[in-house]
Structure 1
Amino acid sequence: MNEYVNLESFKPVTQAFGADTIIVQIDSILPVRSIGKTVKASHKYRQIACSIEEIGIVEPPVVCKDKQNPDIFLLLDGHLRLEALKDLGGTEVECLLANDDEAFTYNKRISRLSAIQEQRMIAKAIQRNVPREKIAKALNINVRSLNRKANLIDGICEEAVALLKDKMCPMAIFDVLRKMVPMRQIEAAELLVNANNYSVGYSTAILAGTPQSQLVAATTPKRMKGMTAEALARMEGELSRLQQAITSVQDTYGQDHLHLTVVKGYLAKLVDNSKIARYLEKRQPEFLSEFRNIAQMTSTIGSS
């Protein structure tokens, strides 16, 4: 039976940030962490500085007022942006004003774009007729590198792109996938995701284990440095068996996990029964020890 809910008993939801941005003098902002020399020498920092110099700050830093001194602001998010702006001679910055000092933003959880997300961002800017030279300058890369990023998913099927869209893959991964036919691209992307391994070496091993008929250049024999044709044939067979094993595990994983959970609960009840525990301790002590270990498991996933 439905219960009556008094809506007036709910507290109103408060905003974490002010509705409008504010202009703050950089000298009145106190960072909550320092920026080391190694960070300022990094490629990421140079990219941020070039982007700010070219198009300004896209995402405002987040500040909150110091409770002891209302004229001072604590910097919660945007340390690299603020430091780069200072290095460029800036004296004031547009900020979001937080209502408390909780330094939680989406950037605390996602700080890097995947290769595909970056490609889509660049492609959108090009579609809006932003000059490629300007985009390259904002990203602190040359136009040739920009064109390579813009064409990253050319020749990659949509299903493989969907599997890798939020994965931190090197650009060379897509060069490897491009040598395979679409169906094999999907299989290769699934192998990368299942293994949580996006290294160029692993993708090259998948390519080496790909049958000749599943390559775009099906008539051109595969050539891998330091590997003979016999070794490539063995790798193809091993990789095929590995894929079958992975598929088999995926098909039964849910049911097996349920069975293990039920067994774990049943054994926990057994060892908690004093009569059964005494019987096992006297007749089968090794079983009792193993049953207790299983009952005390916090996860059905074995530790390596």
Structure 2
Amino acid sequence: MTIEETKIALPAVSQGFEKRCLLVRLDQLLPRKSLPKGVKHSKKYRQIATSIVEIGLVEPPVIARDPGNSSLFFILDGHLRIEVLRDLNQSEVECLISTDDEAFTYNKQVSRLAAVQEHAMIVKALEQGVPEERLASIFAVNIETIRRRKRMLNGVCIEASELLKDKNCPMAVFEVLRKMQAVRQIEAAELMINANNYSTAYIGAILAGTPQAQLADPTKPKQLRGMTVEAIARMEKELARLQQGMSSIQESYGKDHLELTVIKGYIKRLLGNARVVSYLLATRPEYVPELQSVVDMASSSTDI
């Protein structure tokens, strides 16, 4: 098959959202869930309300068209924002129209504002002249927290911040990263991503396992509470071995995943053949549960 034929054979990719936002009246929006009792007295509700009053709606609600009524829409994401707008006596809101009406699917894929993105927003707002006091009110934090978030990436290399720009890392993670040299910052970011662990405890363990020569200030000895020099040295060796093991797994993961998927499919087809199963039950009955366990195990871990 030629490249041109392959291109023709490829199915069209459907868009997840309509191309343009739509201005919708609030009385056209139908909730998919009821708000918890007392939510209007929560900190989150007050923070959203303050943000909308101070700077307007930053993230448009996501809605889907009601197939049974063209004038109505289901709310997929943004119930609190819409409730705040109602309390503010607003009559309409600009919404993003999803082509998928499943709230579960959308909420599973949506990415909330990460620390790096929040940092960029704060820096941009400050550059445009928004006072620190106003930002502190919007985010429901004190002014010192705004200042910490502003300087969060000071000393963090661009490559590491790019790797973590859409990850939900606590601000303290970046404060630990800046204690390492740039190359080690990138390695630490990759370790967190591979482990899907962005906690301060994990980045603290990575710092503990960082060789002295890879610290931002190699002349300053690491001082970790409750750990001796010998324990820190052992941790450095263990972390180095862990990195080597993860690198070797990454190199072969794609090939192993493909082989396991093919094997699973072949065994599944065999067990779907009544004649094959009858033969196995008659000659090798102990094979059947073992083969079925392979299919079940593969289904839970390798299906895409």
TM-score of the pair, normalised by structure 2? 0.75
Aligned to 1:203: 203
User: Displacement of 1:243 after TM fit?
Assistant: 0.6
Distance 1:120 1:98, change over 3 A: closer
Aligned to 2:23: 21
User: Displacement of 1:293 after TM fit?
Assistant: 3.7
- Show CA shifts across 1:101-144 (max 9, x none): 94769677425201011111222222333333333332222322
Does residue 53 in structure 1 map to residue 53 in structure 2?
yes
- The separation in 1 between residues aligned to 2:195 and 2:162, in whole angstroms, is 17
Does residue 166 in structure 1 map to residue 181 in structure 2?
no
Aligned to 1:120: 120
- The separation in 2 between residues aligned to 1:247 and 1:100, in whole angstroms, is 39
Name the SS for the 1:121 alignment partner.
helix
The 5-angstrom pairing of residues 130-145 of structure 1 reads 130-145=130-145
Aligned to 1:218: 218
Greater C-alpha Rg = 1
Residue 182 of structure 1 aligns with an amino acid whose one-letter code is A
Larger mean Cα displacement after TM superposition, 201-210 or 28-37: 28-37
User: Displacement of 1:193 after TM fit?
Assistant: 0.4
User: Displacement of 1:208 after TM fit?
Assistant: 0.8
Residue 190 of structure 1 aligns with an amino acid whose one-letter code is E
Does residue 78 in structure 1 map to residue 88 in structure 2?
no
Q: Is the 8 A contact 1:209 1:235 kept in 2?
A: yes
Q: Is the 8 A contact 1:17 1:96 kept in 2?
A: no
Does residue 251 in structure 1 map to residue 251 in structure 2?
yes
User: Displacement of 1:292 after TM fit?
Assistant: 5.1
Residue 191 of structure 1 aligns with an amino acid whose one-letter code is L
Q: Is the 8 A contact 2:62 2:95 kept in 1?
A: yes
User: Displacement of 1:279 after TM fit?
Assistant: 9.2
Name the SS for the 1:94 alignment partner.
strand
Q: Is the 8 A contact 1:60 1:95 kept in 2?
A: yes
Aligned to 2:91: 92
User: Displacement of 1:146 after TM fit?
Assistant: 1.3
Aligned to 1:152: 152
Name the SS for the 2:222 alignment partner.
coil
Residue 23 of structure 2 aligns with an amino acid whose one-letter code is T
Residue 92 of structure 1 aligns with an amino acid whose one-letter code is S
Give the share of equivalent positions with the same residue, in percent: 48
TM-score of the pair, normalised by structure 1? 0.75
Name the SS for the 2:166 alignment partner.
coil
Q: Is the 8 A contact 1:61 1:75 kept in 2?
A: yes
The 5-angstrom pairing of residues 4-19 of structure 1 reads none
Name the SS for the 2:93 alignment partner.
strand
- The separation in 2 between residues aligned to 1:198 and 1:187, in whole angstroms, is 14
- The separation in 1 between residues aligned to 2:281 and 2:51, in whole angstroms, is 72
RMSD: 4.1
Residue 254 of structure 1 aligns with an amino acid whose one-letter code is G
- The separation in 1 between residues aligned to 2:62 and 2:173, in whole angstroms, is 36
- The separation in 1 between residues aligned to 2:214 and 2:182, in whole angstroms, is 9
Does residue 193 in structure 1 map to residue 193 in structure 2?
yes
Q: Is the 8 A contact 2:261 2:298 kept in 1?
A: no
User: Displacement of 1:195 after TM fit?
Assistant: 0.5
- The separation in 1 between residues aligned to 2:234 and 2:248, in whole angstroms, is 21
Q: Is the 8 A contact 1:77 1:103 kept in 2?
A: no
Q: Is the 8 A contact 2:48 2:84 kept in 1?
A: yes
Residue 236 of structure 1 aligns with an amino acid whose one-letter code is E
Larger mean Cα displacement after TM superposition, 122-131 or 36-45: 36-45
User: Displacement of 1:166 after TM fit?
Assistant: 0.7
Name the SS for the 1:156 alignment partner.
coil
Q: Is the 8 A contact 2:281 2:288 kept in 1?
A: no
Structure 1: gaps spanning 5 or more residues: 4-12
- The separation in 2 between residues aligned to 1:259 and 1:27, in whole angstroms, is 53
